[in-house]
Structure 1
Amino acid sequence: MGLTVAEIAKALGTEAFGDTALVVDHPAEPGQAGANDLALAMSPAYAGALKSSAAQAAIVWDGADWQAMGLKAAITVPRARLAMAALTQSFDPAPAPTGIHPTAIIPDSCTIGADPSIGPFVVLAEGVRIGDRCRIDAHVTIGLNSTLGDDCWLNSGSRVGRNCHFGSRVILQPNAVVGADGFSYVTRELSNEERAYQSMGREPLTPPADGKRHRIHSLGGVIFGDDVELGANSCVDAGTIRATQVGRGTKIDNNVMVGHNCIIGEDCILCGQAAMAGSGVLGDRVVMGGKAATKDHITVGNDVVMAGASGLYVDTKDGMFVMGLPAMDLPSYRAREKGLRRLPQLLKDFAALQKLVPKDGASD
């Protein structure tokens, strides 16, 4: 889909220069941009590649001498990554509604809003309610009495369990699962993990009289606020009695696990392979780096950033930056790492000092 330079600048809320009526077909990296592309050169580091390309139009950094780089038109942006959000949206418009595919299974008790796009082999359970302009791609299933707000997009193969309720503009990437039963079991007597925690490892574990695991069912469902996105192959488990909750604007990456009864605040980011154990709480604007994890039943305050691969086992105050395993505040972590790096030399120094100390019974 071709857009003029002027149309793109308007979408970005910024200024265009030169031949703003010039039409470009799609964005491209500077080194690969052709005559009909919009080169993305939002840093001076791309000046050389842009000058040697065939591009006639580009998005450039503030203050760039775009004419000296052989361009006919240019758009300037103050914040490159923010510009990418509006730019990619402009070149990826929502498709026109396609209606309901004849292979979709939709009981009479379901309610479908205006302008739907429901693809092949979609299966809705009884009592499902879907808002306006929702897009539900092939092989999606939605469980009993679940609801979707307006403008939701469920990619192919995603699964929504029973009693799950989404706000507007929720996106599930392919094969995401919302509302599966939580990983919740109990033994008749104390389990091995309970006994291990009680003794803190001071006593050896022996086989219990009855180690059978009794399944605890998940009745609580899941609630997503508006503008939540769940990545491919990620899972958000249903709550046991009350719903697992994900707040407005939170974005969850691929291969992320959110356990049952968790509560996640607004505008959080959970990066790839992050994991929350059951009944954990995240405040607003929390960032969990890749492979970061939280223990069950802990509370993470607002605006906390967890570095990648960190493991958090205790409650955390607002605004902390934590890293490591176990996770701790950054100054403490750096002090510990410095101490560990110095430890081999300290041991050598200690051994050398020991050699200078007379042994017992040695003469002065």
Structure 2
Amino acid sequence: MKFTVQDIATALGARVEGNGALRIDRAAEPDDADAGALALAMDPKYGEGLTRGAARAAILWEGADWQAMGLEAAIFVPRPRYAMSGLTRLMDPGPDIAPGIHPMTVIDPSARIGEGAAIGPFVAIGAGAVIGPRARIASHVSIAEGAQIGADALLMQGARIGARVRIGDRFIAQPGAAIGGDGFSFVTPEKSGVEQIRETLGARAAQEAQSWTRIHSLGAVRIGDDVEIGANSTIDRGTIRDTTVGNGTKIDNLVQIGHNSQVGDHCLMCGLVGVAGSVRIGNRVVLGGQVGVSDNIFIGDDVIAGGATKIFTNAPAGRVLLGSPAVKMETQMEINKAVRRLPRLFAQVAELQKAVFKRAGD
């Protein structure tokens, strides 16, 4: 697929200088760009790479002298990283899923498939399921009974949609995503050691042997519009009420959201985030990689938690968190500085002890 430089600039709402009719077939880093590539040199630090490549056109930073760089055309964007979203959307052909329904797919007669859907081989769609118009479903996807998926969905290979799950429009599930599995919920006939310790913060009575009994999940999962779920991420269905994910939320790979949790709109959850059960998360919350969230707590709107933060208690709106246990980011930075000073402090204390003992012995 080829584009003119002007096509690309128009899609980005950007300005072109030079030959806008020049044709481009791909994007590339400056060093790797050939004559048919658009070099991405949106920061001065990448400008030198243009001399090592063979690009004729590039996206540049404002004020760059494109002619001195030997280019025939240049696109100037006000916010380079945001421009990447438009450029990649324009150039991404998406998965190759043939229109229509593949003959090796199994669809229950009571399921409803929207107009213009493309469904690959080895897909299973259960009784009463509803698939919206223009959905694209890759191979080996399973959609259980009663599930509903909105318009323009994209389900990649091996995604699993559980029973009664309801999903909005423009949903994306990356390979292996599993939505609507049972919640991890078990109980013992008498109070377990875990329950006692939660109450006492350490003390526990002598324990008799007990076995764990499953609490079944009668709820489902509800997901809003424009949500993306990463590869091998999981969202458990609720015990009684549904687990929910709001509009526009993006979830990275290997993320776990526990049963009964409620995630707000336009949140961002990076890889290996773990959210325990019955957590309420507000809108526009960002959780960095490996963040852990304890069960039955609330995280307010616009909270940002840095990578590997462990959130054990409620977090007020707008708070920026870091560390384990989570504290304000500036507090954690001071803690980190103090920890780095400890060896020097210990050495100073040892010297003082020697001096005190020497004077005491005189």
| Bucket of the pairwise TM-score, normalised by the shorter protein | over 0.9
CA distance in 2, matches of 1:229, 1:201: 40
Q: State how 1:256-271 maps to structure 2 within 5 Å.
A: 256-271=255-270
Aligned residue identity for 2:274: A
Is 2:347 the partner of 1:348? yes
| Contact 1:257/1:275 (<8 A) preserved | yes
TM-score normalised according to structure 2 size: 0.95
In the alignment, which residue of structure 1 is the partner of 2:165? 164
Q: Which amino acid aligns with 1:232?
A: A
- 2:179 maps to what in 1? 178
| Contact 2:97–2:136 under 8 Å retained in 1 | no
Q: Deviations over 1:217-252 (max 9, x none)?
A: 111110111110000011011111111111111100
Matching residue of 2:296: 297
**Aligned residue number for residue 143 of structure 1:** 144
Query: Do 1:259 and 1:278's aligned partners in 2 also have CA atoms closer than 8 Å?
Result: yes
Deviation of 1:201 after TM superposition, in Å, equals 2.0
Alignment: residue pair count: 361
Secondary structure of 2:107 counterpart: coil
Asked if residue 31 in structure 1 is aligned to residue 31 in structure 2, the reply is: yes
- Hey, what's the Cα distance between the residues in 2 that align with 1:165 and 1:28? 39
- State whether residues 182 and 259 of structure 1, in contact with CA within 8 Å, keep that contact through their aligned partners in structure 2: yes
In 2, distance between residues paired with 1:93 and 1:333? 44
- For residues 252 and 277 of structure 1, the distance between their equivalents in structure 2, rounded to whole angstroms, comes to 15
Matched, 1:315 2:342: no
Q: Which runs of 5+ in 2 are unaligned?
A: none
- CA 1:12–1:96: 2 relative to 1, 3 Å: farther
User: Post-superposition shift, 1:41?
Assistant: 0.8
Instruction: Give % identity.
Output: 47
Please report how far the alpha carbon of residue 93 of structure 1 lies from its aligned counterpart in structure 2 after TM superposition: 3.8
CA distance in 2, matches of 1:97, 1:49: 39
Matched residues in 2 for 1:266 and 1:108: separation? 35
1:161-197 per-residue CA deviation (whole Å, 9 max, x = no partner) reads: 0010110000000000000001000000011211222
Distance 1:258 1:190 in 2: 26
CA displacement 1:21-66 (0-9 Å, x = unmatched):
1111110110000011111111111211113321111111111111
Which residue number in structure 2 is paired with residue 21 of structure 1? 21
Q: 2:158 is aligned with what amino acid?
A: G
The secondary structure found in structure 2 opposite 1:83 is helix
Equivalent AA in structure 2 for residue 154 of structure 1: L
Instruction: Say what the alpha-carbon RMSD is for the aligned residues.
Output: 1.8
| Shift in Å, 1:108 | 1.6
Task: Give how far 1:199 is off.
Answer: 3.3
2:196 is the counterpart of 1:190: no
Q: Distance between the aligned counterparts of 1:219 and 1:363, measured in 2?
A: 75
Q: Give how far 1:17 is off.
A: 1.4
Quick one: structure 1 residues 344 and 9, their matched pair in 2 at CA, closer, same or farther if it must change by over 3 Å?
same
Residues of 1 paired with 2:315 and 2:255: CA distance? 21
Match status 1:119 vs 2:115: no
The match for 2:273 is 274
Is residue 334 of structure 1 aligned with residue 333 of structure 2?
yes
**What is the identity, as a one-letter code, of the residue corresponding to 1:202?**
A
Q: Deviations over 1:258-301 (max 9, x none)?
A: 11111111111100101100011111111110001100001111
Deviations 1:70-99 (A, max 9, x none): 111111111111111110111114568610
Instruction: Structure 1: give runs of 5+ residues left out of the alignment.
Output: none
* Alpha-carbon shift at residue 131 of structure 1 (Å): 0.8
Q: Take 1:324 and 1:302, find their aligned partners in 2: how far apart are those partners?
A: 19
Question: Contact 1:119 / 1:136 at 8 angstroms: preserved in 2?
Answer: yes
Distance in 2, Cα, partners of 1:363 & 1:309 = 50
Structure 2 CA distance for aligned equivalents of residues 23 and 331 of structure 1? 49
- Aligned equivalents of 2:331, 2:45: Cα separation in 1: 36
Question: Residues of 1 paired with 2:258 and 2:336: CA distance?
Answer: 31
Residues of 2 paired with 1:358 and 1:275: CA distance?
52
Q: Which moved more, 1:91-100 or 1:299-308?
A: 91-100
Identify the residue that residue 57 of structure 1 maps to in structure 2: 57
- Between the aligned partners of 2:65 and 2:330, the Cα distance in structure 1 is 43
Q: What TM-score comes out, normalization by structure 1 length?
A: 0.95
